[in-house]
Amino acid sequence: MKVGIDRIRFYTPRWYVDMAKLAKARHEEPGKYLIGIGQSKQAVIPNTQDAVTMAANAADQIINDNNRDQIDLVLFGTESGIDNSKSAAIYLQHLLQLRADIQSVELKQACYAMTAGIQLAKDHVLAHPASKVLVVGSDIARYGLHTAGEPTQGGGAVAMIISADPKILAIEEPSAHYTADIMDFWRPLYATEAVVDGKYSSQEYIDFFDRTLTEYQTKTKSSLADLQAVIFHLPYTKMGLKALKSVLNRTDERHANQLLREFEYSRIFSREVGNLYTGSLYLSLLSLLVNSENLKSGQKIGLFSYGSGAEGEFYVATLQTNFQTAIESGSIKKVLEDREELSISEYETMFNSQMPLTNDNFVTNDKLDSAKFYLAGQKDQQRLYRRREV
Ligand code: COA
């Protein structure tokens, strides 16, 4: 039985900052951000959006009256959790009006958690073929104003339905994993911004890619030449390019150029949004599927997932018949087209207006945000989630 991605959509808030202007404001050469880091725009997250509302705004696009009652498991990958105890998945299950007799769980392993969710979902569907699983990855990537990580911020959510006989991609067996206890990026309980050793993290990312790809090729006796494209978790888009270039000597020149060309398609959306943490690899997937004109059903795509701390996974998925129709490219492009640019000072104000992590009551600027799901504030230590009838 084939199991994989049946539907997939994406949400990011409607504000962004231009990276050339941010570079100038930070007294850097624009080329460093645009080429050296590989980012053109960066999503700015208002205080009306958090991991839960962004997930709801993404998932709402793929849930309708035909599939709502078939969803019996919600897996929510995030490293921007809003509670140390209660799962973000329960808020999501409620906002989306899913059935009550289902399982809803939050998963954490930095940017890897959505991939963990997809693989767990696949096994669940193999055991229960009629089931549909909602898997989301939703995060706000924050490093802080005037930090080295600032040009690699961003945010948003990707939601997908994993089912039998998927319309878009079938996930193949086996995967290759590598996990090691390293301190390249983490966020202690007292911190709202991550602690990161960016250079070390970039080296480890490439090492984990090398190890998992090698392990995958050994297990499957396959070669890089079997893949139409290889896509990556993109903390910043140059990171994926560096990792891809590190293995191009494993294939011939013609195929190496093909992988480079497909990589360019896969990074178009991340260039415009920045880091999504858990959803980042799957924004690369959407970008490839929407923008590449070379893809055909039956072709195989390699996916590299990396979550600092660290865990890496390499796996392969096969494009299904009529995947182009199932992608709904126009709606996906519209999320990016309908955005507004903020000046640097407007971005800094929005960045600093996040709801404080205290027990005080708080009211957000909800008149500003027209998204269907939004955070109205906090009252009596409870987040106030709202669903707008649109
Ligand atoms: N034109 C083109 N490229 C330029 C340039 C210019 N004018 N100026 C600099 N560059 C290049 C540098 O050569 C470098 O390229 P390289 O990485 O291929 O060597 C790149 O821009 C970045 O410059 P660098 O001086 O290394 O930047 P930095 O010290 O500010 O750090 C990061 C960049 C990405 C390491 C930093 O933003 C960071 O730590 N981000 C967090 C990302 C992360 O680790 N996430 C978790 C991983 S999963």
Say yes or no: 270 and 223 in one domain.
yes
Residue nearest to atom 39 of ligand 1 (CA): 198
Pocket test for ligand 1, best of 152, 238, 284, 304 (most atoms within 8 A of CB): 152
Say yes or no: 100 and 229 in one domain.
no
CA 279, 135, 313, 197 dihedral sign is positive
Rounded distance, CA 147 to CA 73, Å?
39
Rounded distance, CA 375 to CA 381, Å?
13
Say yes or no: 36 and 96 in one domain.
yes
Reply yes or no on whether the pLDDT at 40 is more than 90: yes
- 366 pLDDT band, cuts 50/70/90, is confident
Q: Which of 305, 321, 337 is the last residue of a domain?
A: 321
196 Cβ inside 6 Å of ligand 1: yes
53 Cβ inside 6 Å of ligand 1: no
Say yes or no: 210 and 353 in one domain.
no
Say yes or no: 316 and 342 in one domain.
no
Chain centroid to CA 149: 18
Work out how many domains the chain is built from and give that number: 2
Percent of residues in the chain assigned helix, strand, coil, to nearest 5: 40, 25, 35
**CATH for 263:** 3.40.47.10
Domain containing 197: what range?
Answer: 170-321
Q: Which of 264, 295, 321 is the last residue of a domain?
A: 321
149 Cβ inside 6 Å of ligand 1: yes
Q: What is the model's pLDDT at position 354?
A: 95
Tell me how far CA of residue 86 lies from CA of 105, 106, 274, 382, in angstroms: 9, 9, 28, 11
Rounded distance, CA 40 to CA 42, Å?
7
The minimum-distance atom of ligand 1 relative to the CA of 306 is 48
Question: Is-contact 170 2, C-beta < 8 A?
Answer: yes
Rounded distance, CA 137 to CA 208, Å?
21
| Predicted model pTM | 0.98
Decide: helix, strand or coil at residue 83. Answer: coil
Q: pLDDT tens digits, residue range 338-355?
A: 999 999 999 999 999 999
Q: Which of 296, 321, 346 is the last residue of a domain?
A: 321
Residue 253 annotated as catalytic? no
Say yes or no: 15 and 112 in one domain.
yes
Rounded distance, CA 365 to CA 371, Å?
12
- 389 pLDDT band, cuts 50/70/90, is confident
Say yes or no: 278 and 361 in one domain.
no
Q: pLDDT tens digits, residue range 108-165?
A: 999 999 999 999 999 999 999 999 999 999 999 999 999 999 999 999 999 999 999 9
Residue nearest to atom 42 of ligand 1 (CA): 198
Say yes or no: 186 and 112 in one domain.
no
201 Cβ inside 6 Å of ligand 1: yes
Q: pLDDT tens digits, residue range 172-211?
A: 999 999 999 999 999 999 998 899 999 999 999 999 999 9
Say yes or no: 160 and 206 in one domain.
no
Residue nearest to atom 44 of ligand 1 (CA): 198
Say yes or no: 43 and 78 in one domain.
yes
Residue 27 annotated as catalytic? no
